[in-house]
Structure 1
Amino acid sequence: MKRWVDVFRVNKMFLNILLSFLSLIIPVVLLGWISYVNFVNELKREYTEKIELHLTSSSHTVENYWKTIYEAGVNFYGDPAVRRLLRTSTWASEEDRSDLHELFESIDRTRFHVNQFAEELFVYADGTYVMTSDGANDFRAFFEKFRRYDGMDAEDWLATLDSDRSLEIVEPSRVTTSFQATEAFSLLVRNRSGKNRAVLVADVPVANVVRALQPVLDQGATEVVVTDGDGNVVLSTDERFANARDWGGDAGSASARSVENAEVRIDGERYIVSAVSTSTFGWTYRAITPLQAFRSQAQGILRLITVISIALCVIGTAFALLFSLKIYKPIRRIVEVYLEEDNRQQRDDAEPKRPNDLYAVGDGIRQWMSYRGRYLDEWQSMAREYADHALLQIVRGSDRNRKRDEELVRILQTQLNFKKDGYLCCAITFEFKDTFFRDVQDVERIVIENKMKNLIQGYLSEYAPLHVLESNDHLYVAIANVRTDEETERFKAGVAEFIRTFEYDRQYYHIRIGIGQPFAGLDGIAKSYRGAMAALRTLPPEDPSRVACAASPNDAQDVPYSYADENKLLKALRFGSKEEVEHAVDELLRKSGHALFARSGLIGEMYHTATRFAMERGIDADRLASESERTALTNSGPFANEQELEERQRLLVSYMHRMIETHLGPKQTQKSSQLAQTIKAYIEENYTNDLHLEHIADKMEVSVKYVSRVFKEHYNMNLTDYISELRIQLAKELLKSSGMAIQDISERVGFYNRTTFLRTFKKLEGTSPNEYRQRLRA
């Protein structure tokens, strides 16, 4: 029974997780509905904007028809020949009758101007004649036989002479001629000046007006209705709207060319009506679109959105089930482990306590957070240890790479709060006297010596972000993170205050401190440390407690001694090779140029490097050179001649040789063997790349000559021959096991010149690569 209760409790938790994920599907449905509504609204907006644009343009075209006819009529009446010959009563004289052709030509010119949209143009001044471009026609015969208008006879046309309106548009009527019958608008332009009252009539076919409105009709389900100023329909492209009166809104009162939109119901069906009114003739143009057209398109997108929503719901349900299972299993395991542990702790109770599942999860998370806190503390401790090791490698001139430098910068910023790019090194030495070992208990001595690093860290960190390294016994390096001159001076003042705190304990130990100059970047740490050690070296041993500062960086600008140069010299000293040391000194002096001052200063810098190297390894450098020799080596002032400079170079090389002979000689053979093995390992890892002696020498940080000699002494073969053998051996394997082209194999094994590859292969194997492959296949 208890087992089923546990199963129900765990399954209930699974259902809660699943429902939580399924609740995320609700926004999918809402988004689908919102997308549908937005699509319909956007569709209406885009459609109405397009209709409004075409309706405005089309109404402008039709209005231009009427304006053109009106202007042509005004120009016609202004013709002097027309004014003189328009009345038929003037035709009595022979002279006027002979000039009638001028009247007919004027009518023809006027017709030419409106011929693009007007079908016929004629003019009459009384009930006698109707003048056309072809001549004069009897008034009654013209309207009863030649051009009959439904709803208007000759008397109706004669009555139009009595109107005072200068322009009148007659509603469309059927016009019948001997050749055809058409629906046309009749535009009447009257002459009301003086006694020459006349009417010029231009018939515009309805088809031409509809053609001007065609851009609106081309939109699909849209129809056009045109009404006059009284609201009467003068043109409708659909008979359903011929008698409509209620259009929604008051478009007729709108300003010229303004567009209004409204939804109206006509015969039980809803329409969107876009209307534009014109002030010239008082007509209103309406584009009528059924809402059913939008619904038809919206139904298509609705079906699409529905399908997509259903698909997303199905996929969402599947993923919800999958994610619920993924989350449920570890949570269930946490609950089960917690319940088992709780049951073991309460096994003596009649009914073990079963906490809520979420409480069990919470307890597990709190336990995990506790573990995380401990692991984070351990990681921070490891990061500080890594920073100690990496910084010691920098100050000692060891090899570096960009990846390790980036990691070190990140740790300095996050763990040591080094936010600035400037570094200043301070070298501190403690020399304990015999009284310290005689008067202080051994246990207390151990505590004091172990806490010295923390003492320096705690005191000087008040003046700048600081990290202290223990470089050697009783030699500490404090690295301060400073940027400005004010910060540097503040830190130096703190160092001076620090050394004053030990004034009353001078009977037990001496403190000497050398302070370098601040530099930017990780390379600046090594530069500042070198300056601090040089400053420390200048302190006299008989002076108990002193602080010395390195020379200003500006004072050393003329001495070309870079970090890479110093590292090359240190590398030679580590290998214990006299030849390599002598070569390094000679190469650095040649590189510095011909200036005596620069070379003299460089000799002093190399001497300080060698002395620092000795101090870091516990070597008493004072025993390797006499006081006069040390004075000559540290004196970097100008020299009178080349001979004195050569003597200083000889003293420097002799000083380093004695260091190697006295303390490093027994290790020289071992270091030479290690170098040969390092060269061999490097070649075996990189022989497929473009290797050459200079490249290998740069990597080993020794000279090309020394690389070749060490390798040949230990392996009894030239270094270049060994590279070639490795490459040809790999080429033979590729020729045997692959179908690669010769050129591809050549590049693959490290030969980037096909001719060199062929020549080397034949030299070592006695045959060409193709012949070797063919022989294998045979």
Structure 2
Amino acid sequence: MEKFVPNRRSVIFKWLLSYISILIVPLLVSGLVYMGYSRALRSEINDVNAALLRQVKSDVDARLSDTETLSVQIGWNPRLKSLIADRSENYPADAYNLIMRDFKVYRMSNSFIENFYILLKDKNAALSNVTVLRDDLYEQMIDRYRLLSNGEPLRPLLWNKHASEFITLQEESRPGEERTVVALLQSLPLDSSVDVNATLLILLNNSQLTDTIRNIQWIDRSVVLLLDENDNILASSEPYTLPTELRYSNLDEQNDLYTYTDESGRAYTVAHTTSDVIGWKYVSITPNEVFFEKSNDIRRITYITILCSLLLGLVMSLFFVKSNYLPVRKLVGVLADKAGIPFDQRHNEFGFIEDALSSTLGDKQKVDRVLDKQLQHLRQSFLGRLLKGRVDPSMSVQEALSLYDLHFSSDDFAVMVFYIKEIEGKALGGMDREKQFQLARYIIRNVFEELIGRKHFGLMTEVDDLQAALCNLSPGAADPEGDLADAAREGLQFLQENFGIHISVTQSTVMHSLEEIPAAYTEAYTATEYNILMGRADLTSYRDIELGLKEGNQTYYYYYPLQVEVQLTNFIKSGDYNNAKKILNELFEINFKQFSLPSMITKCFMFNLTSTIMKTIYEITAPDHNDLSELGAVERLLGCQSVTEMDMELNKILIRLCEYTREKNEASDLIRRAVQYIQKHYSDETLSITQIAEQLSLSPSYLSKRFKEVHGLGLLDYINKTRIEAAKVLLTGTERTIQEIAESCGFTGSNTFIRTFKKYEGITPGKYREVSSSPQE
């Protein structure tokens, strides 16, 4: 047994590929599960981040609200109100001590406050919970603070009206050392609507603000910061430089969670919310890798699961492929060994098994088909010789019929010939012309063998590139020619409607012996020639065209009298297409519809009509025969194979000739008007082709072309010659100077006149005057 080795087309590889494809499904599911988990984890971390940010907002906003409340309590302190109302410079020291004692209580009640001052405008002093600052100390204390937004001093802002207004200050705590401070300004007294006699300045404890942010349990490596409207970081969980993407104006309340990428390509997720007390924003910034680090374990487990599934699936696929493939391999080996059929490496095993079984079991059918095909070919060849009367004389017709298994039921025969005129539509589209006609002949053969076989016996064959049917008519048929005509008409309609095949079908008369079969074929072939000439695609019987063919003394003629030819020529020359076409229609009506001319007489008429067209073309286009390039059309007219083709070509030529004639007549009138204009205005030195064309409402190029066609020279040459002729009259008949003559004839100067005159006359104007005035010997 021959050793078998699977090739690359083997089914083993297809099976393996199918099993592996099944493995893709769980792998895709695992990937989708991992992606869903990652999204869920990211969403959960963002939710936690946002919740923590809301907690910071709640705590800080509560402290800020307490500070506002404290400012109101301080403002309503009766001792403080009395102090503000007192305008004297010397206020009792005991009263100061009582107020400072109250301030200590306020200070101890709110750890969020670092310090506060009552700035007294009239007394030029500042009162805190521990001391009273006067004069220079007071000035120094105020000058330590500047606005963080623009660096302006705090002093001008103190005596404006403020109602618990938070601001950010830059404090110079020590020489050369500054820090950012959040402060609250409250104008005093509270019940004053205009005058501001004092201002409460509360300084918040920034370290407390930062600790509040840091004390929240944040996600690792997240940064939380408090941002004011001027992009100042008031507090932060760790040192941070604010990037452009996180400016206050870029934090949209409608999009409180989004992602941005810094210059290094690192991505961050940003959450933010706005304080309910003031316009500050609480911002949380988390690197995106935090999310991926949280999902590393799940990702690792997913990868391991996918890898294990893939390995296990591959092992099982190989096992099942091998188990299923062994019986197929044995069967292929047996067929290759026992049947002696080598395994074709271009096919897989199933293809080889199919080919081997077909080869083994179909040998007898193949031999029978070859014999039937050979017999059919021989029978077709015999029928062709029988129709043309070229049967081998060494064998009788009866013997040949017996040899080719042909049996006729009667001695009555008729012949039908089929000619394919046209194939259209999509039924036989998509193939070249040769294959179209080959398939069409096959269809015609099957259709008409079936139609003829309904009442008679018919055999189809090909003769001289035509298809012919030898019809053996059934005994006792009442109207055999009518039966064949009905079958032909039904076949014509079926082929046109279903396949777009247009054919000519001709039918002979009925013959009554085998020996008359060639005569029947001759009749059908003659009728086919007539159909081709007339361009017909229908049923034609030999009886329809046999009028006079059997009468030896019959003289044929066609209708085309001389006066009709003259009328046709005159109508064409005058460009009267409608009357010219009317004459042609009358000629075709009389010659081909009222009478049936034999093919040779029809050809004579076609040549005569073609000769008329050629003579008319010559007369119209003379002397320049290139004006109308109809030579190709005449050649096509001479090559027409049918009356229909000739009618179409004649119509095309008539249209072109009549158009050309009308255009030529119109051009002659235009050129006459152009000449008149030149004769009248030649003395105008600005006269040009463009000027003339504008007067005639034509384009310069069209006018130049038509002028040259009529006069044989260019329009500019004609203008110059007209001027030269006028100048010649003045040279010989007057004593005017060359310059005067040049100007009066339209030349721009004497030099141009001399150059142009010499170009056309061969001598200068002066020489011409001298020669013309000298006496002639």
Which gives a bigger RCO, structure 1 or 2 (Cα 8 Å, sep 6+)? 2
TM-score normalised per structure 1: 0.38
**Structure in which a larger fraction of residues adopt helix:** 1
